[in-house]
Amino acid sequence: MTRRQKFIFVTGGVVSSLGKGLASASIGALLESRGLTVAPAKLDPYINVDPGTMNPFQHGEVFVTDDGTETDLDLGHYERFTNAVGSKKSNFTTGQVYDAVISRERRGGYLGGTVQVIPHITDEIKKRILNVDDTIDVVIVEIGGTVGDIESLPFLEAIRQLRNDLGKENSLFIHLTLVPFIKTADEMKTKPTQHSVRELREIGIQPDILLCRTERLLSSDLKDKIALFCNVDKDAVITAKDVDTIYEVPLLYHREGLDEKITKLLNIWARKPDLFKWEEIVDTIRNPKKEVDIAIVGKYVKLKDSYKSLNEALTHGGIANNARVNIRYVDSEDLEKGVEPPFDGIDGILVPGGFGDRGIEGKIRAIQYAREKKIPFFGLCLGMQLAVVEIARHLAGLQDAHSTEFNEGTASPVIYLIEEWIDRENKHQKRDRFSDKGATMRLGAYPCKLKTGSIAHKSYNTDMVHERHRHRYEFNMAFRKQLEACGMVVTGISPDEQFVEIIELKDHPWFLACQFHPEFKSKPFSPHALFREFIKAALKPKQEKQRCRNK
């Protein structure tokens, strides 16, 4: 940390899921538009070491960084909205903090002293917050949970102390709260915000800025009232109104004067914001020239946050093609029950990643449908593995082909667990099905060599790419020749040819599946090449039909 660095602490109150991650990412976008560099971080109060073993229905997506850290989905927002690249410094949990302190105590690091929440736990939190690259201008720290939750208290105490350590001109408290609209009274209510701020003040934190999540714009009178009762400036009461697209949030905050207020309070000299690219993105999303319907066949479709980066990457692919992407979620378990595939009017089928055997046969059925009906198909991670299984069963004649993750006794283990391998840091790794589940996968960015002339090579327009992984099981090279003989083509492979990364299918308009997660590297201003080309392929039949009608 250097003296010139500034810290913004973002907290949330009243209810969860108000959008602290989006708020933090939007603040980062606004500061970058003024020429500043930012580094966002997320502090999670749960005791899990990381979200890697957590149920997607509880936690949503697990976002993976280049260095292989399994993080909160808010890291995805930060990377999509800013130029920041997440790492193990960008997300830590109560579990990690306590683990570090207890390990130090076991080694005698506290010289026999009594280890307590204050100062030992709070000091560890502060040390991690301050562990930032010296080149960064502003660090944006999001505190997970809701003010009033017991598990968040050590984090809140740590940032309270940091305010004293850093000084007012180097630190800022922004509190995201709720101003609900009561339909029966036809009135917006400020009391929840007042109570939330009171909770913060009771533990020694006075917010400098309030982001008020609302359905409607706050009137001048309501801003006066909130400012009076919450002890903030009137121009520090910001309307965080619901918007049609998340990419409008930075524009809304700018219209409310948020970036101007932040730079004033932190005494930062910065240029005027340039938000033209954000305006362009929002205009493209609102006024697309084309439309396309994509089916996501997954097992976590009841919670959209389970596929957060995937949903956004599809939107980005639409932006690149000036098209609105309509997503139809299909529960793979329904397809297992013999339900007729609901793919009428669908232009493309995508099968994402996942874990466990629930819904697997439904995903395989969807892949078979896409292959036989010549519908553009995109498989990600598990989607690639199951595409291999489907091809092996129905084209190569290996009727019992499967992944050993789901059938250990299969005679045709086209997907299997590599128990000994060398990771990207040239370290020897050993694992089996009884190994710990957390952080034992092939995680983070790995190189992939592309086959010239393939869909992948034409999409990326380069010979080598680096993409992020999160999986245990791999393509079994023993079956490569047999599968390639029936139409499958390996078009992406690790430089040492140990791991198959991308497969494609001959005699199909667009059939590509990759072992990695390309959605993690897609941004609205630079849509991922594979999503861009997938949407382009899905649009093609519609455009051809339109040309025929015009003739």
Distance CA 537, CA 540 (A): 5
Looking at 230, 381, 448, 514, which residue is catalytic?
381
The radius of gyration of the chain's CA atoms, rounded to the nearest angstrom, is 25
| 488 annotated binding-site participant | no
| 507 annotated binding-site participant | no
Q: Alpha helix locations (H) across 247-381?
A: 249-255, 258-265, 276-286, 308-320, 332-336, 360-372
| 90 annotated binding-site participant | no
Which residue in this structure is represented by tokens 């004067």? 257
Which residue in this structure is represented by tokens 């915000």? 193
| 142 annotated binding-site participant | yes
Looking at 59, 77, 517, 528, which residue is catalytic?
517
| 151 annotated binding-site participant | yes
Distance CA 329, CA 96 (A): 35
| 533 annotated binding-site participant | no
| 540 annotated binding-site participant | no
| 200 annotated binding-site participant | no
Distance CA 316, CA 326 (A): 12
| 472 annotated binding-site participant | yes
| 16 annotated binding-site participant | yes
| 243 annotated binding-site participant | yes
Looking at 61, 124, 519, 533, which residue is catalytic?
519
Which residue in this structure is represented by tokens 């190994």? 435
Residues 6 or more apart whose CB falls under 8 angstroms from that of 122 comprise 154, 157, 158, 161
| 21 annotated binding-site participant | yes
Give the 3-state secondary structure percentages of the chain, helix then strand then coil, rounded to 5: 40, 25, 35
Q: Is 504 a catalytic residue?
A: no
What b/e sequence results for 382-414 when a residue is b if at least 16 CB atoms lie within 10 Å of its CB, and e otherwise? Answer: bbbbbbbbbbbbbbbebeebbbbbbbeebebbb
Q: HSE on the CB side for 15, CA within 13 Å?
A: 9
| 32 annotated binding-site participant | no
| 526 annotated binding-site participant | no
Distance CA 200, CA 203 (A): 6
Q: Is 519 a catalytic residue?
A: yes
| 210 annotated binding-site participant | no
Which residue in this structure is represented by tokens 């609105």? 324
Q: Is 517 a catalytic residue?
A: yes
Distance CA 427, CA 422 (A): 5
| 242 annotated binding-site participant | yes
Per the annotation, binding residues for L-glutamine are: 354, 382-385, 405, 472
Residues within the annotated binding site for ATP? 17-22, 74, 241-243
Binding residue positions = 16-22, 74, 142, 149-151, 189-194, 225, 241-243, 354, 382-385, 405, 472
Q: Binding site for UTP: residue ranges?
A: 16, 189-194, 225
Point out the residues that are catalytic: 381, 517, 519
- Which residues line the annotated binding site for CTP? 16, 149-151, 189-194, 225
